[in-house]
Amino acid sequence: MTEQAKVPAIRFAGFTDPWEQRKLGDVASSFDYGLNAAATEYDGQNKYLRITDIDDETHEFSKSDLTTPLADLAMSADYLLKEGDLLFARTGASVGKTYLYRQFDGMVYFAGFLIRARIGEGADPEFAYQATLTDAYKKYVAITSQRSGQPGVNAQEYADYQLMLPSKTEQQQIGMTLRSLDDLITLHQRKYDKLVIFKKSMLEKMFPKDGESVPEIRFAGFTDPWEQRKLGELFEESDERASDREILSVSVANGIYPASESDRETNPGASLANYKIVHFGDVVYNSMRMWQGAVDASRYDGIVSPAYVVARPNSEVYARFFARLLRQPMLLKQYQQVSQGNSKDTQVLKFDDFASIGISMPASENEQRRIGGFFDRLDSLITLHQRKLELLQNIKKSLLDKMFV
């Protein structure tokens, strides 16, 4: 290894010494296997950490399903975690997954399929933990874990992992910086998750439940009962054809979007002669995936595959309201019931069957607009937080690549 390769691409000012190659076992005072005990109901104080309790994304202790070890805890003090303990998953699909204990997690005992490395005074635990998020570590685990049965890495193999170490002061600077970034990512993840949950709740409360004539929550000034209508009274099938416009796609996750924004490659040799024209505001659905929610009101002019159905609304319809209504769970069930085919994979919802379905809607287009606009703004806010989150995650990945050797 050259001297040039012994320093990272990015360093804090004031640090110039080359990094040293050390085994993880050289900087840990011990490697220990966890407690071999079953889990029981959480007693309110003593937590039990198993592989499945470590979040796959954040590597934090997920406390959604807390348990307590079924053991004599007075005799199990050796398995109680301390500040700076670094845990490794030793077997199964999660082999290599790591968790760094922090005091705010409380009293935590670790289970038998985990290995604890007690980081010594010569190294910074946060730096050691962040090093386990690098591609170099993941590559080591992928190679070392190969077994004839389940993948696995034992304590000695973890101890043999070689990493490059700077001075402890530089380790602490790197660890603190990456930890602050992790905290920021967690903050944005929580904001994003709360918005997604809020949207789900509002979709349930701003549309009438089955058998009811009004929703639980309405905008001020709207009091009239919602009308019962057939979709065929509000939409007509459009069969205009063209080949010289932007190609659009429809998915369950993203609604209608330009195919050029998809990761999937389009077939450059495919004929567009029979593609259907879509105008702004048209409702388009995938006839084979309608029961899963592959439907949206288009915000684009373009063309779609002949496999899609294009439904053009009349003047009573505010399309963005119907973009939400047509994805309601009770309607998804109706799509499946009236679709033609012997199995879910072959079921097709033809327009005539779509037209026969009854829905509940506000007679006032203004109320439709208020509801549709509310969810569009909420979606924009969710997308904003998602993009911020992705940006922070990309920054973290880049720093892991450039701040470690």
Residue 54 lies inside a defined structural domain of this protein: yes
> Domains in the chain: how many in total?
3
Residue 91: band (very low, low, confident or very high) from pLDDT cuts 50, 70, 90: very high
The pLDDT of residue 1 = 40
Report the pLDDT averaged over residues 372-383.
96
- Is 70 exceeded by the pLDDT of residue 144? yes
Q: Return the pLDDT at 2.
A: 43
6-15: per-residue pLDDT in tens? 899 999 999 9
Domain of 78, in residue numbers: 20-165
Same domain, 156 and 216: no
Given a cut of 90, whether residue 268 has pLDDT beyond it is no
Q: SS3 letters for the chain?
A: CCCHHHCCCCCCCCCCCCCEEEEHHHHEEEEEECECCCEEECCCCEEEECHHHECCCCCCECCCCCEEECCCHHHCHHHECCCCEEEEECECCCCCCEEECCHHHCEEEEECCEEEEEECCCCCHHHHHHHCCCHHHHHHHHHHCCCCCCCECCHHHHHCCEEEECCHHHHHHHHHHHHHHHHHHHHHHHHHHHHHHHHHHHHHHCCCCCCCCCCCCCCCCCCCCCEEEEHHHHEEEECCECCCCCEEEEECCCEEEEHHHCCCCCCCCCCCCCCEEECCCCEEEECCCHHHCCEEECCCCEEECCCEEEEEECCCCCHHHHHHHCCCHHHHHHHHHHCECCCCCCCECCHHHHHCCEEEECCCHHHHHHHHHHHHHHHHHHHHHHHHHHHHHHHHHHHHHHCCC
Asked if the model's pLDDT at residue 117 lies above 80, the reply is yes
Pair 24, 161 in one domain: yes
What is the rounded average pLDDT of the residues 157-162?
Answer: 97
Residue 87's pLDDT band, with cuts at 50, 70 and 90, is very high
284 and 341: one domain? yes
- Sign of the alpha-carbon torsion through 226, 229, 233, 234: positive
User: At 63, which CATH number?
Assistant: 3.90.220.20
Per-residue pLDDT tens over the stretch 241-251: 999 899 999 99
Residue 397 placed within a domain? yes
For the cut 70, the answer to whether the pLDDT of residue 108 exceeds it is: yes
> Is 14 a domain residue?
no
In this structure, are 389 and 376 located in the same domain? yes
pLDDT confidence of residue 396: 97
Q: What per-residue confidence (pLDDT) applies to 18? A: 95
> Could you tell me if residue 322 is inside a domain?
yes
Whether residue 246 sits in one domain with residue 323:
yes
Binned at pLDDT 50, 70 and 90, residue 210 comes out as: confident
Q: 161 and 31 in one domain?
A: yes
Average pLDDT, the chain: 94
Average pLDDT on 44-71 reads: 96
Looking at the structure, tell me whether residues 131 and 53 fall in a common domain.
yes
Note whether 250 and 297 are same-domain residues: yes
